[in-house]
Amino acid sequence: MAHGDREIEIKLAVANTAAARRLLHRAGFRVHRRRIFEANTVFDTMDGALRRSRRLLRVREAGGEVKLTFKGEPEPGPHKSREELEMTASSARISTAILQRLGYHPAFRYEKYRAEYRRPGGSGVATLDETPIGTYMELEGNARWIDRTAKLLGFTPPQYITASYGSLYTEWCRARGVTPGNMVFGGRKRKSEV
């Protein structure tokens, strides 16, 4: 959920999916979009120019929908704030072919299960992301909403994560002495219910 063409968000690490659901429900959040599987492919130049500049070009397949997204360089601050341009595409295969013809190549794949939560009358969105490296909540909205909501959920600014899933995955691999590849479930499909 971008504000205009701007995305403002944070991630919060949570112990597990059940604990995160309890926190969200106690804070008045309800399921807005049921849990679905997402497959994301990040594209870059051969020399990694987009990653080095902290920009992102991505094709996402989720729930039968394909989205092409560009994210600009994040601004410094307690929240991740950056330009986000997104459009629905007709096909991941065709989107990939177009990007490759323009000189971009698939650089990183990551998967997650995502459910979206909202509070009645609220302006932001909370998502619950189950990834191969752990469970995270994302809070996306204006900065005041994010701070109020994080506090309501029991989190403080030092717990805010502004890193991308690609960066979190690289850190996770480094901490375990694992060579980074793609952040995927390895063929284990989980039940896709809320």
- Terminal Cα-to-Cα distance of the chain (whole angstroms): 20
Rounded to an integer, the average pLDDT of 46-69 is: 96
Class of domain 6-176: mainly beta
Say what percent of the chain tops pLDDT 90. Answer: 91
- Residue-by-residue DSSP string for the chain: --BTTEEEEEEEEES-HHHHHHHHHHTT-EEEEEEEEEEEEEEE-TT-HHHHTT-EEEEEEETTEEEEEEE-PPBSSSSEEEEEEEEEES-HHHHHHHHHHTT-EEEEEEEEEEEEEE-TT-SSEEEEEEETTEEEEEEES-HHHHHHHHHHTT--GGG-B---HHHHHHHHHHHHTPPP--B--TT-PPP---
What is the value of pTM for the model shown? Answer: 0.90
Q: Which of 14, 40, 28 is CA-nearest to residue 113?
A: 40
Amino acid 186: pLDDT: 83
Which two tokens mark 35?
Answer: 């849990």
Amino acid 126: pLDDT: 98
Q: What confidence tens digit (pLDDT) does each residue in 76-109 have?
A: 999 999 999 999 999 999 999 999 999 999 999 9
User: What is the residue extent of each domain of the chain?
Assistant: 6-176
Amino acid 85: pLDDT: 97
Is pLDDT above 90 for 154? yes
How far is residue 182's CA from residue 109's CA, in Å, rounded to a whole number? 5
Q: What confidence tens digit (pLDDT) does each residue in 164-194 have?
A: 999 999 999 999 999 999 999 985 444 443 4
- Residue-by-residue DSSP string for 12-53: EEES-HHHHHHHHHHTT-EEEEEEEEEEEEEEE-TT-HHHHT
Average of per-residue pLDDT values in the chain: 93
Amino acid 191: pLDDT: 42
